[in-house]
A = this chain, B = another copy of it.
Amino acid sequence: MKISYRLADIAAQFGGHVRGDSGVRISQIASLENAQPNHISFLTNSKYRAQLVSTCAGAVILGEADADATDLPRIVSDNPYAYFAKVSALLNPLPEARHGTHSSAVVGAGARIDATASIAAMAVIGEGATIGAHSVIGEGCCIGANTVIGSHARLYPRVVIYHDCVIGDNLIAHSGAVIGSDGFGIAMGDGRWIKIPQIGRVVIGNDVEIGANTTIDRGALDDAVIEDGVKPDNQIQVAHNVRIGAHTAIAGCVGIAGSTTIGSYCRIGGSAGILGHLQIADHVEISSFTLVGKSIKKPGSYSGIFPFSSNEDWRKNAVHLRHLDELVKRVKTLEQEIALLKGKDR
């Protein structure tokens, strides 16, 4: 049976002020629209206040500004969205993994696996690798030789980490993620590409979550570094020698080219791109679908998106982009001629 908590228990753990009946019992979290009486819901945007009237939730989390907008039992928090995240984690703990190594897993010589770690079926742990306390290595994962994984990692099935990488505590890595693959290092000589060995590592801090099918290449000579709390979503490509600063969040399908350094607390929109050898400051926001082609030295929001329209309108307008320089010259000519006419006119 699912565990339930009284509103008072929740507030005791996470703070905030309870209004209304603090004894109401909560066993799950849900949207205002779908919540049931044993659910707690949340309002993070006053715009949706009207939903407070119709919700069947047993309780709600909201901000000070909305605290009087309902009579429901409620927790008032100065950051209701973060509060929601914490309550949801309380109500939805990860299933416990069984300690120990599945009989089908293969563990290389000299690997050190903590007694509280879990190695699932079909996983392969390379020679000399280290798996920290309470870490869970999912089905079919491959951990390369001498790679070190900290404590409380959770690797979903089929994650690959190449050799000699160093990973902090609390890593979450989703299926298909590849960490430490060779960077795109090739040199043209005598009409063919010569491979440049990629001898750096990937070094990852604590509290990083890596999305499904995301790839993070190892360094060419020095290391690629992902600092604490970085959150790359799915299908992201991080090329060799990249450094990503702490607590930067990156939405799906982004590509980051080699040797670029990204600051802390940046937010990068989906399918954006960042060229190589650039420096991006802290607290930079990049819009979806924007290519960053030079370094950004100041915090702020940056965009470069072609606005979409009906195919007809797009065609009509976009054709002129190939003649924009000419258009600007035509305007300049007009300005000169007007000046001339005005002169004569005087």
Contacts and interface: CB of A to CB of B under 8 A. Distances in A.
A8 interface: no
B311 A301 contact: yes
Contacts of A290: 306, 308
A13 interface: no
Contacts of A270: 237, 239, 255, 257, 273, 275
A321 B120 CA distance: 54
Interface string A273-316: 10100000000011111111100000011111111111111111
Interface stretch (A17-25, A66-74, A85-93, A110-118): A85-93
A229 B157 contact: no
Contacts of A307: 293, 304, 318-319, 321-322
A260 B325 CA distance: 32
B253 A273 contact: yes
Of A317, A337, A338, the most chain B CB neighbours within 10 A belong to A317
A9 interface: no
B306 A311 contact: no
A199 interface: yes
Given A92-B199, A106-B122, A195-B89, A158 B156 contact: no
Contacts of A344: 345
A64 interface: no
A235 B234 contact: no
Nearest to A229: B192
A134 to B, nearest CB: 16
Contacts of A5: none
A334 B122 CA distance: 73
Given A160-B157, A330-B335, A338-B341, A292 B308 contact: yes
Contacts of A335: 330, 334
Contacts of A92: 197, 199
Contact of A311 (B187, B300, B323): B300
Interface string A172-192: 101110100110111111111
Nearest to A77: B189
A309 B82 CA distance: 31
Nearest to A103: B106
A81 B189 CA distance: 8
A302 B308 contact: yes
Contact of A156 (B181, B189, B311, B318): B181
A259 to B, nearest CB: 11
A151 to B, nearest CB: 17
Nearest to A228: B192
6 contacts: A139-B142, A184-B231, A215-B235, A271-B271, A330-B331, A341-B341
Given A79-B187, A288-B293, A320-B328, 9 more contacts: A85-B196, A174-B181, A174-B182, A195-B209, A213-B215, A235-B255, A287-B311, A301-B311, A303-B311
